[in-house]
Amino acid sequence: MAVTPQFKSFALKQLEYVTPDRVWARRLFGQLNVYVGELHIAMLDHDRVFLKADEQTRMDFEAAGMQAWQPLGADGAASFFEVPVDVLSNQDALRPWAAKAVAVAQRSDPPVLERVEPSWKIKRLKKRKKRKKTKKR
């Protein structure tokens, strides 16, 4: 298993303390994507936390010695950087890093709920609207 239940619980509680909104996770391709409200800010993989970064914050993560998440050994630019255990376990140390990840997500992510619905769901919604119109007549 890529993320143990104990680590998931610990990491989500730590992030919940230092972020402005509800923290939740969704499994995707073996790791867990972590969201604050509707913003994707982190990933959990192999019992490690990786925070989201971009061009503006990447240098800060690298300067702090944080390792990039590269699941396939890719040489490309990394979007997530590992949070050291000593930072993760200290809420005061974690807070500025989590704030940077939230800011990156605000700049780059469309909110989860505004993403495109699957075509089957759109068809079902259109059928419901037609039924309601015919009942009103």
**Domain locations in the chain as residue ranges:** 5-136
Pairing of strands 31-36, 23-28: antiparallel
Q: In CATH, what number does 5-136 get?
A: 3.30.1460.30
Q: What is the pLDDT of residues 38-60, one digit of tens each?
A: 888 899 988 888 999 888 888 88
Alpha carbon distances (Å) from 62 to 24, 26, 78, 99, 135 = 26, 27, 10, 17, 61
Q: What is the pLDDT of residues 52-89, one digit of tens each?
A: 988 888 888 888 777 777 666 555 456 888 888 888 88
Query: How far apart are alpha carbons 93 and 97 in whole angstroms?
Result: 8
Q: Is the pTM of this model over 0.85?
A: no
List the 23-28 sheet strands across, edge first. 23-28, 31-36, 39-45, 48-52, 80-82
Alpha carbon distances (Å) from 73 to 18, 20, 68, 83, 91 = 31, 33, 10, 18, 30
Contacts of 36 (CB under 8 A, 6+ apart): 15, 19, 20, 21, 22, 23, 102, 105
Residue 6: predicted pLDDT: 92
